[in-house]
Amino acid sequence: MRILLSVLCLTAMASSVTADWRQFRGNDTTGSSASCELPDKWSADGENVAWKVELPGRGPSSPILVDGKVIVTTADGADLEQLHVLCFSAADGKRLWQRNFWATGRTFCHPQTTPAAPSPVSDGKYVYAFFGSSDLVCLDLDGNLKWYRGLGHEHPKAGNDVGMASSPIVLDDTVVVQIENQGDSFAAGINAENGQTRWFLPRSERANWASPIALKSVNSGDQSVALLQSGSGVTAVSSQSGDILWELGGGASTISTSLTNGEQAFIVSKGLTVLDLKDPRVKPEIAWEANKLNPSSMSPILHDGKIYTINGTGVLNCGDAETGDLDWGLRLKGKFWATPVIAGEKLIAINYDGLAMIVDISGEKGQILEEIEMGEKIQASPALGNDAMYVKGERHLWKIANTQ
C-alpha cells in the first residue's frame, strides 16, 4: 500500500507539471524524462537547434524550465560582483526579462567557476535564485522582485577559497539552503512567502558544495523532510522547524548530490549507499552499498529501475537500483562536471570541453550513437521539457529540438 500511495502521488505530481523542469535534475530530481523525445543528432549552430542566444556573464548553474520560460543565472564584473537572473521564452528564445543585483557577500572563486554556480529553483509561482555570494533572490515569473536576502552580508565569513555551489530546494513554502565552509557555516529554512528565516542550523565549518534534497512524505499532512549532505554524512531535518529527525554518519560526498525516488534514497557515500525510506521521518535501514557506482563530481541519475553514474575516469556506469549490481560500464571521453540527463532511452552526457555524447541505454549495454561538438566549455546539467533540451554553456544557451 505504501508503494502504491507513493507511486500515485508521484504520478499526480509529474502529470501536473509535466512540461516543467523546476530544479537541478528536474521536478522529481531523477534527471530523466521518459516521455521526452530528442532528435538523434544536432549541431552547435544549425541542425536541430531551435534557437541559440548569447548570455551575459557565465556560471555553472543549470537552467530551469517553468511555464514556458527558461530561467538561468550568470555573474560577471571585475570581481564577479554583478549577479544576473535571465528569463527566455522557451518557444523562440526571446529574452523576456533580466534582473541584475550586486553581490553582498564574498565572490572570490576559482577561475573555472563564478558565484552563479548554484542552480535556481521554482515552486511554479516564484523563482528562487541563489548565488555563491550567499545572496538569495525571490522573483515572480515576470521578473518582479518579491524579496531579497543578503545572507552573505548577514554572515560575512561565509565563503571558501574556490567558490560556493550548493543549490537550494523549496518544499512546503520553505527555501532550504546550505552554506557550509571554513567560516560562517549553516543551513537555513527561509519562508518562501516573505523571505524571513524560519530556522537556522549551525553546521560543521568544512567546505561543502553538495545540495540538500527533499524526502517525499508518505502520507498527506506529514511534515516534509529535507536531507542535508556533508562530508560527515547526512542529516534529516524538518523543513518547517529545522529540527533534526535522524542522522547517518560514515561520510558523504561534498560535491555530488544524492537523490530519492520516494521509496529509496541514493546517498553519495561509499560509492552509493541506498536507504530504504519507509518513513522519511524515521532513520532508515541501509538496503545496499556499491562502491563501483561512485559518481565522482557528477550527481547520480535514475531511470526505469536503473541508476547511472559517471566516475572520475569518465566511465558511465549503469546499476540495478534494487540491488546495486553493476550491469555495464561504458568509457566516455574527457572530463565531466555536468550531470547527464536521460530523455526516453537516450542518455546525454556533455563533457567539460563541450563534447556531447548521445548514449543508447535501451540494450543490455550502453552504446554511443553520436558525438557533437558544442564549441565551448559546459559545466551545467541540461534541462528537459516538451521534447526539447536546454543546454547552458559558458557563453550561450541552446534549445535542442527536432526542427524538421
Q: CA triplet 48, 49, 53: central angle to 5 degrees?
A: 175
pLDDT for 18 equals 53
What is the C-alpha end-to-end distance of the chain, expressed in Å? Answer: 45
- Model pLDDT for residues 5-27, shown as the tens digit of each residue: 444 444 444 444 458 999 999 99
What is the rounded distance in angstroms from the CA atom of residue 167 to the CA atom of residue 246? 22
What is the rounded distance in angstroms from the CA atom of residue 301 to the CA atom of residue 318? 10
Partners of residue 99 on adjacent β-strands = 85
What is the rounded distance in angstroms from the CA atom of residue 207 to the CA atom of residue 185? 9
pLDDT for 160 equals 79
pLDDT for 1 equals 44
User: pTM of the predicted model, to two decimals?
Assistant: 0.93
CB 63, CB 350: distance < 8 Å: no
pLDDT for 220 equals 65
CB 279, CB 285: distance < 8 Å: no
CB 223, CB 16: distance < 8 Å: no
Does pLDDT of 85 surpass 90? yes
**Region 32-401: CATH code:** 2.130.10.10
Question: In the structure grid, which three cell numbers stand for residue 149, read together?
Answer: 536576502
Q: In this structure, what are the phi and psi dihedrals at residue 367, rounded to the nearest 5 degrees? A: -140, 130
pLDDT for 186 equals 96
What is the rounded distance in angstroms from the CA atom of residue 364 to the CA atom of residue 70? 35
What is the rounded distance in angstroms from the CA atom of residue 239 to the CA atom of residue 263? 19
Q: What whole-number percentage of the chain has pLDDT above 70?
A: 95
What is the rounded distance in angstroms from the CA atom of residue 383 to the CA atom of residue 23? 9
- Model pLDDT for residues 19-59, shown as the tens digit of each residue: 899 999 999 999 999 999 999 999 999 899 999 999 999 99
Sequence ranges of the domains in the chain: 32-401
pLDDT for 325 equals 97
What is the rounded distance in angstroms from the CA atom of residue 310 to the CA atom of residue 294? 8
- Model pLDDT for residues 332-391, shown as the tens digit of each residue: 999 999 999 999 999 999 999 999 999 999 999 999 999 999 999 999 999 999 999 999
Burial of 236 (0-12, 13-18, 19+ CB in 10 A): buried
Handedness of CA 131, 137, 141, 144 (dihedral sign): negative
CB 330, CB 365: distance < 8 Å: yes
pLDDT averaged over the chain?
93
